[in-house]
Structure 1
């Protein structure tokens, strides 16, 4: 299975390393910033790196030829419909909430702000609307009393993301398809950026 990984930062690197352990070919890594640590990890491993023309959008020309699946990991760029169409199975991303709850850039912060006793993670199909694609995998975890967003992310949600992405990749390799359960829009909430 050939994968184009679009991402950044620590979660991008841990996803890159996880993919390498799942017997897939990482055909290309796409980053918004050439100095990002994900770009450095890919170059060190001999994987081609492509820097996005626009930090907000990934185009079809930035997806490696023959890609089976696009995987995003800490990417804030929208993957264009043409880019998704360039991959046999489209694209997936990980969102640190129980979608459709807390769609948006500050999902973990809103989990804490709302006092949610349960959090979780979702691997979802990339779609036109942010965090609104069908669900491929989902799992929950408890939130500890007094836990910060960063603590929750590091303790539970980031490791859960690696686990779920790995399971979805393994399923895609075995079945040449992805599970897809539509999100129930009546439960959708938004998680926009919070002031610092």
Structure 2
């Protein structure tokens, strides 16, 4: 199973480490910033590293040859249709909400802001529209009263993301395919950046 990992920051690093512990072959890491901690971790591990030419887009030439699956972990770049087509199984990402609820950059913040008693995580297929691809795996967790978005992310949603990614990749290795359940658009809500929303 040859994987190109697109990501950044702490979640990108923990995803890289988790997948490698599960015997997954990460053949390339793609980052938007060469100074990012994921870039340093990839270099330390001897993994081929590519810095995106455009910070908001991942293009076909940035995906490693003969990639089976593209995995995104804390990436805000869109993986182009051409890039997805280079990978045998396309691409998946982790979104820290019960998609289609809270599509967008600030899903955890909106979960807390809306007072949702239940949060969750979704592994979804990368598609043209952000956070709108078919669901490969999904699980829910309770939200503690008074919990901040950061606390909820660190306590429950980040570890859930690692677990679900490992589960889905194991399924892909075993079956050569990915589960796919279309999202129900009737229940879609947006989770735009709260800092932008104030202006």
Q: TM-score, normalised by structure 2?
A: 0.98
Alignment of 1:2-151 (within 5 A): 2-151=2-151
- What secondary structure is seen at the aligned counterpart in 1 of 2:71? strand
In 2, Cα distance between equivalents of 1:27 and 1:145:
42
Counterpart CA distance in 2 for 1:169 and 1:21 is: 12
Matches within 5 A, 1:113-192: 113-192=113-192
Q: Once the 2 structures are TM-superposed, how far is the Cα of residue 27 of structure 1 from its aligned partner?
A: 0.7
How many residues matched?
Answer: 196
Q: Deviations over 1:105-159 (max 9, x none)?
A: 0000000000000000000000000000000000000000000000000000000
| Partner deviation per Cα, 1:86-117 (whole Å, 9 max, x = no partner) | 00000000000000000000000000000000
For each residue in 1:23-43, what CA deviation from the matched residue of structure 2 results, as whole angstroms up to 9, or x when unmatched? 121110000000100010010
Q: How far off its partner does 1:80 sit? A: 0.1
Cα distance in 2 for partners of 1:43, 1:71 equals 18
Q: Which runs of 5+ in 1 are unaligned?
A: none
Structure 2 CA distance for aligned equivalents of residues 42 and 71 of structure 1: 15
For the aligned residue pairs, the C-alpha RMSD in angstroms reads 0.6
Separation in 2, partners of 1:162, 1:24 = 13
Q: Structure 1 residue 188: deviation in Å?
A: 0.2
Shift of 1:22: 1.4
CA distance in structure 2 between the partners assigned to 1:182 and 1:22 by the alignment: 28
Moved over 2 A (4+): none
Q: In 2, Cα distance between the equivalents of 1:167 and 1:82? A: 26
In the superposition, the TM-score normalised over structure 1's length comes to 0.99
Deviation at 1:21, TM superposition (A): 1.0
